[in-house]
Amino acid sequence: MKQTAKIYIAGHRGMVGSGIERKLRREGYNNIVVRTSSDLDLRNQQAVNDFFKIEKPDYVILAAAKVGGIYANNAFRAEFIYDNLMIEANIIHAAYLTKVTKLLFLGSSCIYPKMAPQPLKEEYLLSGYLEPSNQPYAIAKIAGIEMCNSYRSQYGCNFISAMPTNLYGTNDNYHPENSHVLPALIRRIVLAKKNNEPFVTVWGTGTPRREFLHVDDLSDACYFLLQNYNERSPINIGSGIDISIKELAVLISVEAGYHGELVFDNSKPDGTPRKLMNISKIKNMGWIHKIDLQYGIKQTISEFRSLNSY
C-alpha cells in the first residue's frame, strides 16, 4: 500500500475509524478522505455512489456502523439491522463500481453462534443460533462478510473482512444507555467515586466472560491486514485472553480508586455466556496485541476523567 494511495475511512469519527486514521497518519499516509454523517448519509445509495465517483479512493476501510450495548441492541432492533445493511451494501457496491484496489470490512465477534465452542474459530460462522439480544446487528454484519465474499467470487474484488473482539479505548462511547459494557462500567464507577456513592449496579450475574482489545491494538492489526492479508475467509482480531464481567468491574474499581460495593442485578440479561476469539490465524501471520488490559483501562479512565473534568 503506497503512502500516496487515497484511503477512504468510513466512520472516521467513531472509536475504530478515528483509531485507524491515527495509525495511518503515524505511518505516513496523509491522502485520507473522510466525510461526516451530515455531509454524507451512508444509507443513501445515490449519495454514496456520487461520492465514490468523485473521490475514486484506492483503499476503503469500512468502519462505519450503528453500534451499542445490550440495551441499545434490544431497543433499536429495526435501526440496527436497517442502518448497518444499508451502510455496508452501499459502500461495498460503490467500491466495486469504482474499482477500489482493496476494501477492509470490520465485523464483530457477535457474528458467531451463542453456544459455539470456545475459543471462537473463523469457521464457526453460521454453525448455530445467534444471541437473540443482538441478532439484528449480527445478521447485518454477517451479510457484510457475505457481500465481500460474493464480490470477490463474482468480480475478483480484493475485499477482506476482519472480526474484532470487544473494543475499548480512546474516543469510546460512554452514553449511559447505548454504550458497551467496559465504557459503561468506567462511566458508572468513575462517577460513583466522584459522588461518593456507596454502591454501583452492574447488569447481570457478573459470570459471563469477555475478551477486550484496545482500539490502538485493533488499528495496528488493521494496518497489518491491509499490508498482508488478501484471503476470502474472515479473520479474527483479539487478545486471546478473557475475563469475567465481575473481574472486569473489580479491575476498573481498583484503577479508579473506588471502594464501594458492586451490586449485580440478576434481572438484567447476561448475553452470551462467553466470547473468546481464536486468534491463531492472525498470530501465525506475525501479529499480536501489545496493550495489557490493566494498563489500557488505567489509560482509558484517565482519558475519560480528562474529557469530563473529573
d(CA 104, CA 96): 13
137 as an active site residue: the answer is yes
Query: 69 among the known binding-site residues?
Result: no
CB 51 within 8 Å of CB 95 = no
Query: 107 among the known binding-site residues?
Result: yes
Query: 108 among the known binding-site residues?
Result: yes
Three cell numbers at 2? 503506497
Three cell numbers at 36? 461526516
Query: 169 among the known binding-site residues?
Result: no
Query: 203 among the known binding-site residues?
Result: yes
Query: 257 among the known binding-site residues?
Result: no
DSSP-derived 3-state class of residue 232: coil
CA nearest to 231, candidates 159, 281, 143, 156: 159
The four Cα atoms 208, 128, 116, 153 give a dihedral, to 10 degrees, of -120
Query: 1 among the known binding-site residues?
Result: no
d(CA 105, CA 13): 16
Q: Which of 8, 112, 137, 229 is catalytic?
A: 137
d(CA 203, CA 180): 11
Query: 210 among the known binding-site residues?
Result: yes
Query: 13 among the known binding-site residues?
Result: yes
Query: 180 among the known binding-site residues?
Result: yes
Query: 166 among the known binding-site residues?
Result: yes
d(CA 161, CA 109): 12
Binding annotation for substrate: 188, 203, 210, 270
As annotated, the binding site for NADP(+) includes 11-17, 106-109, 141, 164-167, 180
Residues at the annotated binding site?
11-17, 106-109, 141, 164-167, 180, 188, 203, 210, 270
Residues carrying an active site annotation: 137
